[in-house]
Structure 1
């Protein structure tokens, strides 16, 4: 089992978006429908969701006009309104506005060894009814920079890597400063980092330039540096690796100042269990073999930390979580290795190199 892939032939934002929307029309419509169901079950009013989508598009156009053009192009190709594609890109912000809470989510490990490239792996957990949303997308800029991203149909980026030697991992956070006044979607921040940054410092500057309404952490990795950039309406913090080169992140803030406003961990403290699991498996997570690193993430609830999640089908869809992907970055090659599903399904043969 592998994720679908798409390679853009266009380099201009609107044309690239229109090609993407045209070729992936069915997947984008399905993803939008899935999020519409999720918002409804979580308590979102459809009319208000449209208002939030329009506001996210306005904020995006002011902060990154080219990305708003690309969203408009996707909408034109997919036969949708631009606000509908903006809703997909702003799903983190809309869920924060609805005040939706869940206890699944992602775990990330980055290790900078004394010799050799960074060793990374993350699980990506999301709602099981959206398991058909992910895809792998490659596009090129006029500058020659190539970006490869694991994202969702209609979303401009998520986890990814560029030929400028920079990659990103992605985890959701929750903070008491999160607000219903929609800001720049955090997925667009990840996109601009992949498109424009070549260093941790440049990535942090991009994050600081955006006015956001929801929280997330984007862990940025280059061949010699790494940092988790924690983003919230209350501010941005940059968390470096420890002296041993180890940088771990789950779904709670590590910065002392931002942690004072922690929401996710106070409501769903399983994030601390997952962090303790990662900390106890640093030796395996530090190894050169991607397969071994993924297997080090293997841990199931209720007997252990739920790093590898499986949905409880007795729950409503907004409370059903599944590890939909396991992903590592290959910085020297400018590629990702992607496994469809959780660590418990990993074998040497299940990795998709993209």
Structure 2
């Protein structure tokens, strides 16, 4: 995966959308085409894709008008039909129309009194869907500066803002999920980054979104003398909140941890439990490290064989091949992302780059 970078000082959503759509028109067009082909490969017809995308676009317009306007402006500038780009932004909502498959992504965050937040996440997905992705810095309408990693067409994913709020993103699956087309979960992540000045703000923003698909946003801050974190498990059935353990570590993979919501969990990926257990097993080795050392430690001495490192198996159908496309740490104190386009063991060997 090639990482593109962008800096925008446009605080107006439409102007920012035009700027990004003009600068990266080929990337937005390619990503939309790849996702539409992927949906078809999963058996989701174009009519259904368009219906869900347009419903999600309507829900987004009511909940976060600026984000809907930005998406439309990107599409217009890039020469893409608006619904096709909206389908990328609502990719999680559209994937609900296909049977649940394996999950992706493992997240670790450490917080506590007198310490800055420390984090690391693997972003695992299909490499054929994301030949290129975006690291972008911009000023939100709220006045906060934001740095985030995202796909071309999704409004947000993993990031940090200048108020010291960080966010990681993992997919979940619940029996209440439907193809109704609610507020895109990627837009919930983006609005948290745009507006939240604390984890309490993040909680309020996430709780206000009527979603049709499930996801967990692990949010954390470094405000004042104590860093805080919580995992916000979003689902159409409601939102669960998971707090860090007594040692300050909060881990999440791809199954619900909230006791009530876990009763309706439909994630078919058996590795999600194994990956969470792996993180739990290395917790004592992860604290007080720089991002590159943390990437090494999180492998637990297993290197590429660590449960959280995804390497595609070429003997499997491509829909069953998963790759760790990104290793990322969020620095809430210094307003930065440390990134490497690959597995943690590779990141440990090459070093993470600061953005």
TM-score, normalised with respect to structure 1 = 0.94
Give the superposition deviation at 1:100.
Answer: 4.2
Give 3-state SS (helix, strand or coil) of 1:313's partner. coil
- Distance (Å, rounded) in 2 between the aligned partners of 1:97 and 1:350: 39
Contact 2:93 2:184 in 1 (8 A): yes
| CA pair 143-189 structure 1, distance change in 2 beyond 3 A | closer
Could you report, residue by residue, the CA deviation over 1:21-75 in whole angstroms, capped at 9, with x for unpaired residues? 1111111111112111211111110121111111111111111111111111011
CA distance in 2, matches of 1:100, 1:262: 11
Match for 1:240 among 240, 243, 255?
A: 243
Superimposed CA distance per residue, residues 102-143 of structure 1 (whole angstroms, 9 cap, x where no aligned partner): x24100001115533111000000002023232101111355
Inter-CA distance 113–291: structure 2 relative to 1 (3 Å threshold) = farther
Q: For 1:115 and 1:199, how far apart are their aligned partners in 2?
A: 17
CA contact (8 A) 1:270 1:305 kept: no
In 2, Cα distance between the equivalents of 1:268 and 1:2? Answer: 27
SS at match of 2:134: strand
In the alignment, does 2:181 pair up with 1:161? no
- Over 3 Å counting, the alpha-carbon distance change for 1:122 and 1:98 in structure 2 is same
**Which ranges of structure 2 fall in alignment gaps of 5 or more residues?**
none
Q: Distance in 2 between matches of 1:22 and 1:121?
A: 32
Alignment of 1:7-26 (within 5 A): 7-26=7-26
Aligned residues: 350
In 2, the alpha carbon distance for the partners of 1:40 and 1:190 equals 26
Query: Residue 171 of structure 1 aligns with which residue?
Result: 170
Cα drift, residue 300 of structure 1: 11
Q: How has the CA–CA distance of structure 1 residues 163 and 352 changed in structure 2, closer, same or farther, with 3 Å as cutoff?
A: same
Displacement of 1:348 in angstroms is 6.2
Asked whether the equivalents of residues 42 and 100 of structure 1 are also in contact (C-alpha less than 8 Å), the reply is no
Task: Report the Cα offset of residue 180 of structure 1.
Answer: 1.1
Provide the secondary structure at the position in 1 that maps to 2:96: helix
Which residue of the partner structure matches residue 149 of structure 1? Answer: 148
Compared with structure 1, are the counterparts of its residues 229 and 53 closer, same or farther at alpha carbon in structure 2 (3 Å cutoff)? Answer: same
1:326 Cα deviation from its structure 2 partner:
0.3
Compute the displacement of 1:344 (Å). 2.1
1:255 match: secondary structure: coil
In structure 2, distance between residues paired with 1:227 and 1:248: 10
Aligned partners of 1:297 and 1:308 also within 8 Å: no
Once residues 235 and 104 of structure 1 are traced to their aligned partners in structure 2, the CA distance between those partners, rounded to angstroms, is 20
Cα contact 1:2–1:352 (8 A) shared by 2: no
Counterpart position of 2:273: 272
| SS of 1:171 mapped into structure 2 | strand
Correspondence for 1:39: 39
- Greater mean alpha carbon deviation, residues 87-96 or residues 307-316: 307-316
Counterpart residue number, 1:250? 253
Classify the secondary structure of the residue corresponding to 1:175. coil
Residue 282 of structure 1: CA displacement?
0.3
Report matched runs for 1:53-64 at 5 Å.
53-64=53-64
Counterpart of 1:190 in structure 2 is 189
CA distance in 2, matches of 1:53, 1:180: 10
CA distance in 1, matches of 2:254, 2:348: 27
Superposition CA RMSD, Å? 1.9
List gaps (5 residues or longer) in structure 1: none
Q: TM-score, normalised by structure 2?
A: 0.94
2:28 corresponding residue in structure 1: 28
Contact between 1:146 and 1:162, CA under 8 Å: does it hold in 2? yes
Asked if the contact 2:309/2:344 (under 8 Å) is kept, the reply is yes
**1:1-354 equivalences in 2 (<5 Å):** 3-101=3-101, 103-223=102-222, 224-264=227-267, 267-298=268-299, 306-347=307-348, 349-354=350-355
